[in-house]
Amino acid sequence: MIKNLRSRRKQRGFVEHSTTSDLPLAGPDAVARLATEPLRDVLHTLGTDLDGLTLADVGQRQTRYGPNEIAHDKPPHWAMQLFSAFKNPFVMVLLVLATVSYFTDVYFADPGEQDYMGLSILLTMVTISGLLRFFSEFRSLRAAEKLKAMVRTTASVRRRMMASGESERHEVAMRELVVGDIVTLQAGDMIPADLRLIESRDLFISQAVLTGEALPVEKYDTLGAVAQKSAGIDAGQGNASLLDLSNVCFMGTNVVSGTATGVVVATAGDTYFGALAKNVVSHKRVETSFDRGVNSVSWLLIRFMLVMVPVVFMINGLTKGDWVSALTFALAVAVGLTPEMLPMIVSANLARGALAMSRRKVVVKRLNSVQNFGAMDVLCTDKTGTLTQDRIILEQHLDVAGDEREDVLRLGWLNSYHQSGQRNLIDVAIIRRANEIGESVQPREFTKIDELPFDFVRRRLSVVVANERGEHLMITKGAVEEMLSVSTHVETPQGVRVLDASARAILLARAEAYNADGFRVLVVARRDIPAGEAKAQYKTSDEAGLTVCGFLTFLDPPKDSAAPALAALREHGVTVKVLTGDNPIVTINVCRQVGLEPGTPLLGTDIEAMDDAALREAVGRTTVFAKLAPLHKARVVKALQANGHTVGFLGDGINDAPALRDADVGISVDTGADIAKETADIILLEKSLMVLEEGVIKGRETFGNILKYLNMTASSNFGNVFSVLVASAFLPWQPMLAMQLLVQNLVYDISQMFLPWDRMDPEFLKKPRKWDAGNIRRFMLWLGPTSSVFDITTYALMWTVFGAGALYHAHGGDAGQVIMNSGWFVEGLVSQTLVVHLLRTQKIPFLQSTPALPIMLSTSVAIALACWLPYSPFAEALGFVALPGSYFYWLVATMLGYIALAQVVKTIYIRRFGRWF
């Protein structure tokens, strides 16, 4: 067909340099119309031909139509990121409080008594929280885009060179494709745009991303009668008819098997996939377990605030009689209960984790997957290239009696050399071995006629070649059982014999013996086709009546690093399960060599016979899953998730795509198939389990620092509110002015900005961690009142020792309040900041666990600032008075008592609940 079209192009004078002005308006309707037109008219309409576009054509079209990418895949504009940074419930709470503060302290205040301090502090807190989150997320998104750019998904296109006019094949990024490009496809490729097929061979496309149908559909270079009628009647009226077009491949789908050539008829938003993304909300990413965890904790704290703040308001209003002052104070308490730095802390931790993992050759495509990586407790992995060296060696080429035969290698070479699909490691090994032996096993007199590509159902690949006399020879290689199912004879040293039950049993036994020695075994068979029966194209139904000629045995040695890597993963609480399409005996042999106890394997046929309940029970006790089809792998992943596990899947092939999509963390490698890289959340630049173990540790460290902030802030805030409730009930004035509460909260929050740079205890990193709002609530209720004990002793101290009570009794009113407020402000802020060192670890602080330098510096500055403010030039404006020197002796004693009590409570808590964070 291609030769004829090229001839017609020359005869009809097809345009050599197209323009972009007359290209058709693209979109689903245009695609349907172009599917039904003659191919030569389609090429003419698109201003292209079979040799492809010139670079000048491409440049013009890229300038006019832009890159071939869906808009929502791009990071948002910086202005939208800035807006989103302030769009969270905690900032909303602060803005509401700032509005109320404006009306109470400014708008309704008498002239000369207007106080802008509270409003200024609230707006400062909002600004700091929002801007820090914005800068953190902006940097992380830019870094993520740079990292993702390291993983290029390409397409193979024909482009004409300007000087020679000759057509050459180029690998270009998918985003660089334009309408009119001629694209070639093979197994494993993503469809880069909407294509009208020019030619195809046994092309099967998975359209699951568009239709949800698991089974691939066959596509042809001609439009079938049914599809043509459907397109002619219903084009543009229904999605089903458009997707039924048998000569159109749609962007976002992928090639399961076969080869093809097609012309790009639509790109970017004009494709079916692009139109779908613009018109339905399904393009929004599903909320992950990480998102749900953050939201659950956030609303837990907000609900707590909504309960406690009215209580504080009512108690102060009833006991003091000043309802305006009570409202102002209650609002300040609400600010104290608001962890407004949480979004920034989360973003900074995830971004820092992603950047740290990139230095370990791990590219994070989605930031939230950093935490999911750390939470992973089951890793499902393939065998080849992960546990093994990814360099298969052809060890033996044997006849059915087990003797070395060059004839068997010669047939294997013909099959591997002439196949045009995705050449795998087995084909490379066969060709490499033939090159070592020489031309005697590389017959060049044959010409290729046709090919039946490999797929995961037949598990074999056939090539048909012709000799000089016009006789055809079909050579087929594949898995043992699948090959025997289509063979009728066997070639023995004594001649060709019928493949009866006895001969079949002997062949199976010999193959199992090779498997037991650690070899992977393929059967090679042939079928001689006389010239009178030869045809131009063959179907899979022609794979029949084959004669088994011998075996090819391969060795894929385990990696030296596999055993220590698996041991490290086990030490960190990650169970490894092997999911492979390979033979179970070979897989068991490899697993034992790397220190993985295989147990009894579960086969794909066993999985098919199980319902979901039975599979859930089986996956828990099974380590090796062998001879799996792609959907089997996905079912295993879902069954593990149903059992409560966080599942990671490491795969790089076409058959891994469904499992990569369904796993909590899909992990692929940059050398994997296009569909695997597109589906995965994380890309490894180095295919090593040791790299995974390092990524798991970094994920847990990232999550741990987020939990630190949540637990410390929640418990500290609860303690402060409990102290306020006690003081409000018994003191004749408010224990601290609203302004002082705001300043205290601002200083504390700024000191927590450096938590993402803290280190985690090794014990925390040993086990996978998940969100647990219940534990945060329990932590808050246990540790919060501990600080209240010493807040109350400080009340007593300021009332008795430092004269607040005497002043009140002597002068009444607010006399004594200034000294009380100053003393509790310093004690509250120092204790709240100092306890960070105690609560950040389950060990004894400073002696058994030392914080990172940024934490040491930030908390030291916060404590120094707390002690300085009563003596600062701002003291009078903030309602402070200089404290006597003896106060600080009492402060040191109070802090020592607080640390001792908190350590005791922490020890009891860990013993009772078996965990800290």
Distance CA 588, CA 112 (A): 85
* Known catalytic residue at 681: no
Crossing angle of the two packed helices 425-437 and 406-418, in degrees rounded to 10: 130
Query: How many whole angstroms from its chain centre is CA 319?
Result: 55
Lookup result for tokens 């860990």 = 910
- Under DSSP, the state recorded for 885 is T
Instruction: Tell me the C-alpha to C-alpha distance, in Å, between residue 251 and each of 31, 631, 666.
Output: 12, 22, 21
Backbone angles phi, psi at 363, to 5 degrees: -95, 120
| Structure tokens that stand for 199 in this block | 């030619």
Helix H, strand E, coil C: the string for 364-426 is ECCCCHHHHHHHCCEEEECCCCCCECCCCEEEEEEECCCCECHHHHHHHHHHHHHCCCCCCHH
**Contact between 265 and 42 (Cβ < 8 Å):** yes
Three-state secondary structure call for residue 736 = coil
**Contact between 840 and 712 (Cβ < 8 Å):** yes
Three-state secondary structure call for residue 550 = strand
Backbone angles phi, psi at 78, to 5 degrees: -60, -30
Distance CA 569, CA 692 (A): 8
**Contact between 268 and 69 (Cβ < 8 Å):** yes
Distance CA 178, CA 157 (A): 10
Distance CA 357, CA 342 (A): 22
Instruction: Tell me the C-alpha to C-alpha distance, in Å, between residue 834 and each of 76, 710, 777, 895.
Output: 39, 16, 21, 8
List the catalytic residue out of 189, 382, 427, 542.
Answer: 382
Instruction: Tell me the C-alpha to C-alpha distance, in Å, between residue 604 and each of 167, 631, 638, 642, 651.
Output: 45, 9, 15, 19, 17
**Which element (helix H / strand E) includes 910?**
helix 886-913
**Contact between 752 and 279 (Cβ < 8 Å):** no
Count CB atoms within 10 A of the CB of residue 792: 15
| Structure tokens that stand for 25 in this block | 């308006």
**Which element (helix H / strand E) includes 665?**
strand 665-669
Distance CA 794, CA 136 (A): 39
Bridge partners, 346 (sequence order): none
**Contact between 51 and 167 (Cβ < 8 Å):** yes
**Contact between 190 and 269 (Cβ < 8 Å):** no
**Which element (helix H / strand E) includes 624?**
strand 624-626
Alpha helices in 645-759 (DSSP H): 657-662, 674-679, 689-730, 738-751
Alpha helices in 245-288 (DSSP H): 272-279
Active site residues: 382
